[in-house]
A and B are shown apart, each in its own frame.
Chain A
Amino acid sequence: MTMTGAQALMESLKREGVEVIFGFPGGALLPVYDALHAETAIRHVLVRHEQGAAHMADGYARSTGRVGVCMATSGPGATNLVTGIATAYMDSVPIVAITGQVPVPAIGRDSFQEADITGITMPITKHNYLLKRVEDLPQVVRHAFYIASTGRRGPVLIDLPRDVAGAELEYEYPEKIDLRSYRPTVKGHELMIRRAAEMLAAAERPVIYAGGGVIASGASEELVALAERLNAPVTTTLMGKGAFPDDDPLCLGMPGMHGTAYANYALNDADLILAVGVRFDDRVTGKLDTFAPKAQFIHIDIDPAEIGKSVAVAVPIVGDVKQVLTALLKRVSAREPGPWLATVEEWKQRYPLRYKTDDGLKPQFIIEEICRATGGEAIVTTEVGQQQMWAAQYYRCQRPRRFLSSGGLGTMGYGFPAAIGAQVGNPDAAVWDIAGDGSIQMNIQELATAVSNALPVKVAIMNNGYLGMVRQWQELFFDRRYSQVDLAVGMPDFVKLAEAYGAVGLRVAEPEEVRPAIDQAMGVKDRPCLIDFWISREENVMPFVPAGGSIDQMMID
């Protein structure tokens, strides 16, 4: 069948099951948007800034498990995607980014709106393509989706020159994929699995340290089964939040810099750590030399390059977490809860997450209230900073793909567009962005996207008039010299701002107003609702392990 490159792109996206594209048009994409105009099976969400499109595709992907698609024109459109692509790369999120490019003869000539986006995104994509021949298009799209959604997930970019989009080809979609240079190992090595089972049986103080890989491979059930069988406590990273229910008695919450004291003490005292789909990030380990000094490690990960990257591993298992845990479950037998669990329980009692309720409105309380109001079933996104850590600590998440946060790159401005993407992918879910007054202003323009698509996303701004996390560091390590963190002057009236966009805006300054406002927001079904919570200004995130410190030495409050 003869069609244009742009039509072939639409056809191929449909073959890949794409139902929505988050995008913004432009000159180099005119043929593509023309083909899209005739398309009924693919929804297009018109964003207001391309960064929003990338984060929406990311939020869609994280919350649904499907590949998210974003699209932007050449030059500035493409470079505006970069932060979103890097965010997805650091957190291993499957997205396909399609960028327009100047026509092939104009490439490399500093043409209008030309940017070398494949060059720019080389270090932040799993793979990328500059499509110079229209006949390669179907296969490139096929490979892009395959690469993004298998192995260690990640973003793939396709750069499509305008003349290629307009050129004709005989369309045929390749059924088979044969990439000799890309064959991820999914099945764990039998011998290693046997050894892991032996070590788990012999361990006295085991801890399971679980991360985003568990969610990516859909292995939460297996993880719960294994933890229960072994009676081993489980700490979940920021990326792994929801992989193991926060309400499970074996759950230790988050480890690391702002982790729970008991998670850090457990890691510090463990004799065996089963690391599952994690990468020993510096925010988890603190000072590497003193991380888990008594422990041996079993490390399960789909990416061989993560194994041995930061810590020496006794038993490396390369493979898909679900498959490996399934195999491991066949080999481990039940263990009774022993003195180790009693010790952990004692730490939990002695050093719980806590905050003072003395003065003003506490962000932790607000997040607990949102959790209660949503039964822990909402999809929660966060921005980056104090609110992100409070959300991770106090929102008790029971299921995977319900907590979306920029963990690796730490992108302010992620949460709101990610929430929009999640809402598009989960129309019936309650979606809450836990935001800060700084972060929300980084992609506030997407209110227009949410309004125009009638998306009932909720935004809870923890408004302290500060870049709170930076302020906290300046308070604790720079003698309260608050340098360029005060946002109070120039603070917009968020209620009016929401209303200006056609959204609902609410303001809350007193604790007793919190729940009614949340309930009111939950009742808004046809547009976004933003709540401006005026929280106590100098509230800190605790516990706190100073950067580069050992995780057993933390400030508790």
Chain B
Amino acid sequence: MKHTISVLVENRPGVLARAAGLFSRRGFNIESLAVSNTEDPATSRMTIVVEDEDKPAVLEQITKQLYKQIDVIKVMDHSDESVISRELSLIKLNADPKSRAEIMQLVSIFRANIVDVAEKTFIIEITGDADKIDAFEGMVEKFGIQEMVRTGRVVLVRGGAAT
């Protein structure tokens, strides 16, 4: 099972390398990783998606090993919580005159945006949870994806509770 964990860290040099290095040397797999500033300039938030191979002990070890890092303030597993989860993808898609109309329809249905138009291509920006982006990719694949890039997942807990 995939878990999304938020790691609140002191905003200090080396902290990203420390956390990322931990995953590789202990043999944990990172599916995605996003790092950003937070509301507090002294902290950063890392949002990490990990695969636990269906062994609960794996996630427990990941959490504990992260906590052991001196600059890690808080580690939260959001798997059982109600969260808003988003990724962003940019897709450079073949768009010849024949297919443009259909692509624009799909873009509209998925509430994506066409952010670049060239003679033979569109660049489409789509934001959403992983399933939505996967679904959109599946729908437009047939037109021919030239290039694609996707951010790591970011999440915030719904309501008043802290992430």
Contacts and interface: CB of A to CB of B under 8 A. Distances in A.
A179 B22 CA distance: 21
A304 B64 contact: yes
26 contacts: A118-B14, A119-B17, A122-B14, A122-B17, A123-B21, A123-B22, A123-B25, A126-B70, A127-B70, A127-B71, A130-B14, A179-B70, A181-B9, A181-B10, A181-B70, A181-B71, A181-B72, A182-B70, A303-B68, A304-B64, A305-B61, A305-B67, A305-B68, A308-B57, A308-B60, A309-B61
A388 to B, nearest CB: 26
A104 B112 CA distance: 46
B65 interface: yes
A305 B66 CA distance: 9
Given A123-B25, A308-B60, A130 B68 contact: no
A477 to B, nearest CB: 27
B72 to A, nearest CB: 6
A418 interface: no
The 6 closest A-B pairs by CB, nearest first: A305-B64, A127-B70, A181-B73, A182-B70, A304-B64, A305-B68
A147 B70 contact: yes
Given A119-B17, A123-B22, A181-B9, 11 more contacts: A118-B14, A123-B25, A128-B14, A130-B13, A181-B70, A303-B68, A304-B64, A304-B67, A305-B64, A305-B65, A308-B60
Contacts of A181: 9-10, 70-73
A268 B17 CA distance: 42
B21 to A, nearest CB: 6
Interface in B34-77: 57, 60-61, 64-65, 67-68, 70-73
B18 interface: yes
Contacts of A109: none
A180 interface: yes
A552 to B, nearest CB: 25
B52 to A, nearest CB: 14
A270 B25 CA distance: 34
Nearest to B71: A181
Contacts of A304: 64, 67-68
Interface residues of B, number: 20
Contacts of A122: 14, 17-18, 21
Most buried by A among B10, B13, B14, B57: B14
Interface in A124-169: 126-128, 130, 147
A308 to B, nearest CB: 6
Contacts of B18: 122
Contacts of B60: 308
Nearest to A303: B68
Most buried by B among A128, A147, A182, A309: A182
A182 B73 CA distance: 8
B92 to A, nearest CB: 34
Looking at chain A's contact residues, the main secondary structure is mixed
Interface of A: 118-119, 122-123, 126-128, 130, 147, 179-182, 303-305, 308-309
A123 B26 CA distance: 10
A506 B82 CA distance: 74
A180 B72 CA distance: 9
Nearest to B9: A181
A466 to B, nearest CB: 34
A309 B10 CA distance: 26
Contacts of B61: 305, 308-309
Contacts of B65: 305
Most buried by A among B17, B21, B70: B70
A300 to B, nearest CB: 16
A147 B68 CA distance: 11
Nearest to B14: A118
Contacts of A179: 70
Nearest to B57: A308
Contacts of A308: 57, 60-61
A130 B67 CA distance: 21
B25 to A, nearest CB: 6
A147 B70 CA distance: 8
A231 B96 CA distance: 85
Nearest to B17: A122
Nearest to B68: A305
Interface in B77-122: none
Nearest to A181: B73
A86 to B, nearest CB: 13
Most buried by A among B25, B57, B60, B64: B64
A130 B70 CA distance: 15
A276 to B, nearest CB: 19
A172 B71 CA distance: 24
A128 B71 CA distance: 11
B113 to A, nearest CB: 39
A303 B61 CA distance: 12
A130 B72 CA distance: 18
Nearest to B70: A127
B12 to A, nearest CB: 9
Contacts of A127: 70-71
B61 to A, nearest CB: 6
Nearest to A151: B68
A130 B21 CA distance: 17
A514 to B, nearest CB: 45
Contacts of A182: 70
Contacts of A119: 17
A309 B65 CA distance: 10
B16 to A, nearest CB: 11
A534 B41 CA distance: 65
B73 A180 contact: yes
A118 B10 CA distance: 17
Contacts of B13: 130
A217 B73 CA distance: 25
Contacts of B73: 180-181
Contacts of B72: 181
A140 to B, nearest CB: 11
A116 to B, nearest CB: 10
A316 to B, nearest CB: 11
A180 B9 CA distance: 10
Nearest to A312: B57
A305 B71 CA distance: 16
B18 to A, nearest CB: 6
A233 B17 CA distance: 45
